[in-house]
Amino acid sequence: MSIPFTLSARHKGFNRAEVVDQNFIEFVQLWQGEVRIAPRDGETVLPGSSLDARGFRELLESQLISRHLDLMARVLRVQNKVFYTIGSSGHEGNAMVARLTRHTDPAFLHYRSGGFMAERFRKIPGMDPVMDSALSFAASKDDPASGGRHKVWGSKPLWVLPQTSTIASHLPKALGTAVAIEQARRIGHTLPIPDDSIAICSFGDASSNHATAQTAFNAAAWTAYQKLPAPVLFVCEDNGIGISVKTPTGWVAANYQHRANLDYFFADGLDLAEGYAQVQRAVEHCRMTRRPTFLHLKTTRVMGHAGTDFEIEWRSIEELFAVECSDPLLRSAGIALESGLYSKDALLGLYEATRKRCFAAAEDADSRPRLTSLADVMKPLAPYTPAAVKAEAERADYADKRLAVFGGEAKLPEKLPPRHLAIQIGQALHDLLAKYPEALLFGEDVAQKGGVYTVTKGLNKTFKGSRVFNTLLDETMILGLAQGYANMGMLPIPEIQYLAYFHNACDQIRGEAASLQFFSNGQYRNPMVMRVASLGYQKGFGGHFHNDNSITALRDIPGLVVGCPSRGDDAAMMLRTLMALAKVDGRVCAFLEPIALYMTKDLYEAGDGQWQFDYPAPSQAMTLGEGRIYHETANDLVVFTFGNGVPMALRAARTIEKELGWRVRVVDLRWLAPLNDAFIAAQASSAKRILVLDEGRKSAGVGEGVITAIVEGGYGAKPLKRVVGADTFTPLAGAALLVLPGDADVVAAARELAAG
Ligand SMILES: Cc1ncc(C[n+]2csc(CCOP(=O)(O)OP(=O)(O)O)c2C)c(N)n1
Ligand SMILES: [Mg+2]
């Protein structure tokens, strides 16, 4: 498209937002084309376009709203009235995607989605995209998306789930949501949206290279290859650059055009008249075929990556000018004038009126309250309603289902002899899948094989493949799927095969799942109970990757609940509470299963059977934060521990009693995040001496938190010692025991305390 003005001195200006703004005005003023007879609504805007006059007018308005929100942000940022300047300028064509989809199609959006949002707002009469966006830009407490916690594109009524700024991290959950939409029917779950919905997910060209994006594309294709539906529309908004790094010309098309089972469509996002039909084809294909669809939307980026990106300092003026000439708003202005739908005055009038509206909204937003207390900030992070959680955890109104699942009264697990951890986790999972018809259990090898340790054995047979199934080998995607199911109102129980493999997918919990309630001000939630086979001391299966003892990466995730049982009955009761926390309060929970205790039956001597326990009746649960105390009245020494440390401490206690004459209390924390500081302090208060036994690593392990709780509780002056794992990876075979604490280390520490 030729631009009817030449590079003037002004165009060399430092402030490219001003230049882009002025370009639009001059373009309209200087435009000299032939004007057609204006089409009526229902008639196409230009010959050959499938977009009608009304559609064009509305899209144009959405584009202008998006543009003026950007311009406003640049001006008011320096006045400290706006706190975010990553804009949508050049991407306003994504309004077409919004127009051609429904407001009930869940959308996971790129940060350049101003046009999309303004257009989607039309779908519900009475909503105001300008004011809502202005409130978010201003970090106002009244921001309907995040309550002032982030400038996000989000809306509960419009099914736009707020996303973080981590690029590509939203693709796995978008695919997960698409898969969930289809799976709901198979498990008889009622969706909160129409059955033929699709999930929409947009991202940039540079982001498409990210491992997390590739994971989602691969999993989508893996799904479609098996002829399973995955109605996700991946919208790659290709502006040819990521901050300052150019995407090789043609890379996106070359990379995706011929991928099997990822159906590629191209659309010109710079030209509404041209692009509309192209976007329409992609959307219809996705909705009709239920296949993963890749829409390559051509965009450009004007005004830099963000307000802080002074492109003129690192790009040539000629290059900048060329980019600014490709501004889609100039093309839209051309269509508006050529079609006869707008006179120059009318178009400039609309442009200026939109500017005024955006500034007025921003000033209004600036006058509203912001978050001013820590309590306000944290309110949606980790909701907890103890009474409701307790009632839900203890709810046992599914007796008939239990009878069917376990095969009769006599076979109910609470009627059977005491069993070990692996069996009781399996029984508890049978119970919970019976209790929650919307619950799904999935992961690597969990179905027919029943998991590497056979913990999930039988579940697939009992609950069938639509509720208990194997996933592809990809932890990021397992957790993406979990979020997708949760978004659709189900209760996912994803399994991560080993703790070491959680770490390579950690961001799906840290950055994504655990942050959703926070960044949506509690409007969206993705409850889940993530089971992770964890910790060291395996005799038959060595090495770090099967014996990882680092809980640190979980402990510092805000809002995450982490539980770690040491025995079967606790595991069952803990799982009930975790499911209740997920169901009632939407919490994201991690359940760490100590692998080495799965099959442990004995405590002191071989054959004593003292580490097997009665299965708790379904009405029994435990409270979040509640520990288990052994030898409650003993106070010569109190050992704080969890997981493998519990039987270890109990064994050591016998030796210590014999050797030192001390009576030893053992406190199983059971809940590792949040740590129950008050409980720890209360237990420390009556102790003469204290040991903290943490099988995890010395640095940043649970033990540090326990010691802190003791010190802050005022008991730091008591004789106190830590027995912890070394700061190293766990080696193979017997060498592992050099790294991990053992019974003898606990006894030795007690001796040291005795020696003063
Ligand atoms: C995982 C991650 N790495 C790096 C960044 C920093 N970052 C933010 S945007 C961006 C470039 C993205 O480019 P592209 O995907 O093309 O989107 P565009 O901004 O061009 O629309 C980078 C590197 C990030 N947000 N997340
Ligand atoms: Mg880009």
Q: Is the CB of 242 under 6 A from ligand 1?
A: yes
Q: Domain ends where: 349, 368, 387?
A: 368
Cα 218 to middle of ligand 1, angstroms? 20
Burial of 41 (0-12, 13-18, 19+ CB in 10 A): exposed
Q: What is the predicted pLDDT for the residue at 749?
A: 98
Q: Is 75 among the domain residues? A: yes
What is the torsional sign of CA 554, 389, 106, 463?
A: positive
C-alpha 338/C-alpha 597 separation (Å) is 75
> Which of 109, 243, 299, 504 has most ligand 1 atoms within 8 Å of its beta carbon, as the pocket-test mutant?
243
Average pLDDT over residues 345-351: 98
- Locus of tokens 């498990």: 187
Cα 210 to middle of ligand 1, angstroms? 10
Q: Does the pLDDT of residue 461 top 70, yes or no?
A: yes
Q: Which atom of ligand 1 is closest in space to residue 237's alpha carbon? A: 21
Q: What is the pLDDT of residues 271-312, one digit of tens each?
A: 999 999 999 999 999 999 999 999 999 999 999 999 888 898
Question: What secondary structure, in 3-state letters, does 564-596 show?
Answer: CCCCHHHHHHHHHHHHHHHHHHCCEEEEEEEHH
Q: What is the pLDDT of residues 517-562, one digit of tens each?
A: 999 999 999 999 999 999 999 988 888 889 999 999 999 999 999 9
Tell whether 457 and 548 lie within a shared domain: yes
Cα 166 to middle of ligand 1, angstroms? 8
Tell whether 289 and 173 lie within a shared domain: yes
Closest CA to 389 of 217, 582, 525, 555: 582
Q: What angle do CA 293, 297, 299 make, to 5 degrees?
A: 160
Cα 87 to middle of ligand 1, angstroms? 13
Q: What is the predicted pLDDT for the residue at 4?
A: 46
Helix, strand or coil, per DSSP, at residue 107: strand
Q: Domain ends where: 311, 341, 368?
A: 368
Q: What is the predicted pLDDT for the residue at 585?
A: 98
Tell whether 354 and 395 lie within a shared domain: no
Tell whether 49 and 24 lie within a shared domain: yes
Q: What is the predicted pLDDT for the residue at 11?
A: 64
Tell whether 364 and 385 lie within a shared domain: no
Q: Is 5 among the domain residues? A: no
Q: Is 715 among the domain residues? A: yes
CATH code: domain of residue 348: 3.40.50.970
Instruction: Tell me, rounded to whole angstroms, the distance of Cα 38 from its chain centroid.
Output: 47
Q: What is the predicted pLDDT for the residue at 2?
A: 47
Q: Which atom of ligand 1 is closest in space to residue 166's alpha carbon? A: 26
- Locus of tokens 């609950």: 463
Q: Does the pLDDT of residue 5 top 60, yes or no?
A: no
Tell whether 328 and 423 lie within a shared domain: no
Q: Does the pLDDT of residue 65 top 80, yes or no?
A: yes
Indicate the helix (H) or strand (E) that contains 495: strand 491-496
| Average pLDDT of every residue of the chain | 96
**What are the b/e assignments for 375-405, b being 16+ CB within 10 Å?**
eeeebbebbeeeeebbebbbeeebeeebeeb
Residues 6+ apart with CB under 8 A from 57: 341
Q: Is 614 among the domain residues? A: no
Q: What is the predicted pLDDT for the residue at 312?
A: 87
Q: Is the CB of 451 under 6 A from ligand 1?
A: no
Cα 165 to middle of ligand 1, angstroms? 8
Q: Whose CA is nearest to atom 25 of ligand 1?
A: 166
Cα 167 to middle of ligand 1, angstroms? 5
Closest CA to 120 of 151, 87, 160: 160
Instruction: Tell me, rounded to whole angstroms, the distance of Cα 666 from its chain centroid.
Output: 37
Burial of 568 (0-12, 13-18, 19+ CB in 10 A): buried
Q: Is 342 among the domain residues? A: yes
Closest CA to 380 of 520, 527, 557: 520
Quick one: pLDDT band at residue 12, thresholds 50, 70, 90? low
Q: Is the CB of 239 under 6 A from ligand 1?
A: yes
Q: What is the predicted pLDDT for the residue at 8?
A: 52
Tell whether 407 and 328 lie within a shared domain: no
Q: Domain ends where: 368, 394, 416?
A: 368
End-to-end CA distance of the chain: 85
Quick one: pLDDT band at residue 10, thresholds 50, 70, 90? low
Q: What is the pLDDT of residues 224-260, one digit of tens each?
A: 999 999 999 999 999 999 999 999 999 999 999 999 9
C-alpha 73/C-alpha 67 separation (Å) is 10
CATH code: domain of residue 676: 3.40.50.920
- How many domains, the chain? 3
Tell whether 556 and 664 lie within a shared domain: no
Q: Is 374 among the domain residues? A: no
Tell whether 359 and 393 lie within a shared domain: no
C-alpha 653/C-alpha 659 separation (Å) is 10
Average pLDDT over residues 98-114: 98
Q: Is the CB of 628 under 6 A from ligand 1?
A: no
Average pLDDT over residues 360-382: 97
Q: Does the pLDDT of residue 756 top 90, yes or no?
A: no
Tell whether 522 and 658 lie within a shared domain: no
> Which of 89, 201, 207, 504 has most ligand 1 atoms within 8 Å of its beta carbon, as the pocket-test mutant?
207
Q: What is the predicted pLDDT for the residue at 9?
A: 45
Q: Is 222 among the domain residues? A: yes
Cα 207 to middle of ligand 1, angstroms? 6
Distances (CA, A) of 290 to 104, 231, 282, 701, 754: 16, 4, 11, 46, 69
C-alpha 305/C-alpha 307 separation (Å) is 7
Domain that holds residue 102: 16-368
Q: Is 480 among the domain residues? A: yes
Tell whether 306 and 420 lie within a shared domain: no
Closest CA to 420 of 278, 610, 277: 610
Tell whether 361 and 386 lie within a shared domain: no
Q: What is the predicted pLDDT for the residue at 122?
A: 97
